Amino acid sequence: MVTTYPWGTWAAGWGTSFSTPFVAGTAALMMGANSNCPAWTVPMGLANADYIGNVNLGFGRLDTYQAVQGCHLL
| Cβ(71)–Cβ(47) below 8 Å | no
Q: Are 51 and 65 in contact (CB under 8 A)?
A: no
Question: How many angstroms separate the CA atoms of 51 and 55, rounded?
Answer: 11
Contact between 27 and 46 (Cβ < 8 Å)? yes
Domain spans in the chain, listed from the N-terminal domain onward: 15-73
pTM for the full model? 0.70
Q: What is the 3-state secondary structure (H, E, C) of 56-74?
A: HHCCCEECHHHHHHHHHHC
What DSSP state is assigned to residue 7?
G
pLDDT in tens, 11-63: 888 777 888 888 899 999 988 887 778 888 888 888 877 665 666 666 667 88
